[in-house]
Chains A and B, each alone.
Chain A
């Protein structure tokens, strides 16, 4: 028998905090110790009570609070499924399969790293930032959004590193896109991790490629199973069609056809 790595668990929702009209931060607890989860991995969450939602929803692991044995999910209310999930009352048991997918790779010694997030895509970067911070690796976050209210969890990010921000309307941080931020000119980075809207990630990947910087992106392709069985979420890479759920969601941009 191979070692079990993913589990189907009923986790209790202990906090459901609205942090914006569009986003909720959901914290789940289990009485037993949660399985080991790595930055970049995701959970397949079953959503009950939404007649139009048939499949599970893949949601990035935002944070693991080891002290309280909690897993945090940052959820953007996009369609019926996520809107229903966001309305779940505290105390409800929610069924999820986790952890799934690969994870961000750790930097080599003495590499300077930058974590670039946009919108709800900042979610996996919090756990990644904490893990890097725990390993005494200096962390810089560059977070972009449309306007100041769309910048999520800034207080959490600032616990683990320097936080730089951009907004499209200039309401917080520097005005413009993440790829225009001045920190990119004032510091030299060896490795970039990014997650967010596809155009943003593509711009970041392009920036990194031109400068020979290693770059990892986390993709959010449409998924059915989340465990590599259905082959629906494929990304067209230099190695052919591969599943974003098992070969990803994290990819080195070298293998992508971007």
Chain B
């Protein structure tokens, strides 16, 4: 029997498999396909202080082994979430975290305060990395000082688990991660989408209404893996890895690179029942490799003397 439990700085998850915000709705969309109690947690759709209509259609473009999106944080606001959605999902037998975003530091803090009042929400994921909004979002997450400012402000008012989701669209991820840790984050999740673009050559026009959008899916996995590895070495708080995870093997690679848990994102679109299959695959791997608990996988990467990273 493999022990699958992971503890992220005081918050316990029954297993390390979570679903990523923006790819799993509010969980309800997936109850036809599997029992949500089988996974460690759900991070629900990005929520903002006020209702947002998001960006105009078209918001999506398929790419080689991935997709671009430009949804732009469409949601009905935190009040609507607390009053209308929370009562429907609070009974889920798994950790439900809310991803929150804002245009200003004050908006982030105010939104976090509303979520704090919801008993069954043990934590938030602070999105300082959304590439699809004009104000806020990623602009906070691309400088160490911006990241520190918003995380500190939320930390002051929010007492439960504070996970901070980082953007890959930066030169030095370790520096941002350290700033977020210093500001009081309980854990770090990464990566959000990579800024990208798609063009219809025949029509000579961009495919997205916003011209650029966020790239996700299998194609971003190597970038994500590298950034998780760099981040895990730079901070002491737990790291939650995501970016292109589509199988148990992918998930295990992130754990080996230093992640304590993982999130499944775009793969939920291709197989809505993928998340529990990844849990099963991790168990099978641990049994085959002789690991008694999944925490032993974290940072169990073997790098021999001849393999040196020229960047360190």
Residues of A within 8 A of B (CB): 1-2, 4-8, 46, 51-56, 97, 221-236, 240-241, 246
Q: A241: which of B28, B54, B217, B266 is its contact (CB, 8 Å)?
A: B54
Q: Tell me the dominant secondary structure on chain A's binding face.
A: loop
Task: Give the number of residue pairs across the A-B interface with Cβ within 8 Å.
Answer: 96
Does B280 lie at the interface of the complex (its beta carbon under 8 Å from any beta carbon of A)? no
A141 to chain B, nearest CB (A): 30
* Cross-chain contact B62 with A7 (CB below 8 angstroms): no
* Cβ–Cβ < 8 Å partners of A51 in chain B: 64
**CB interface residues, B 47-81, toward A, < 8 Å:** 53-54, 56-67, 69, 71, 74
Question: Which chain A residues border B61 with CB–CB below 8 Å?
Answer: 222
Contact of B69 among A5, A7, A230 (CB under 8 A): A230
CB of A228 within 8 A of CB of B25, answer yes
Residue of B nearest to A6 (CB): B32
Q: Is B23 an interface residue (CB 8 A)?
A: yes
Interchain Cβ contacts under 8 Å between A and B, 28 examples: A5-B32, A6-B33, A7-B32, A8-B272, A46-B270, A53-B62, A54-B66, A54-B270, A55-B270, A222-B61, A223-B60, A225-B269, A225-B272, A226-B269, A227-B29, A227-B272, A229-B268, A230-B69, A230-B71, A230-B269, A231-B45, A231-B74, A232-B59, A232-B69, A234-B57, A234-B59, A235-B57, A241-B57
Q: Find chain A residues with CB under 8 A from B58 CB.
A: 221-222
| Inter-chain contact B31/A229, CB cutoff 8 Å | no
Rounded to whole angstroms, the CA-CA distance of A112 and B21 in the bound complex is 46
Distance of A234 Cα from B64 Cα, bound (Å): 23
Residue of B nearest to A234 (CB): B57
> Could you tell me the distance between the alpha carbons of A226 and B53 in the complex, rounded to whole angstroms?
19
Is there contact, CB below 8 Å, between B59 and A229?
no
State in angstroms the CA–CA spacing of A164 and B30 once bound together.
42
Chain A residues whose CB sits within 8 angstroms of the CB of B67 once the complex forms: 54-55, 224
| B259 part of interface (Cβ distance < 8 Å) | no
Q: A228 to B65, Cβ gap below 8 A?
A: no
Any A CB within 8 A of the CB of B218: yes
Contact B31 A240 (CB under 8 A): no
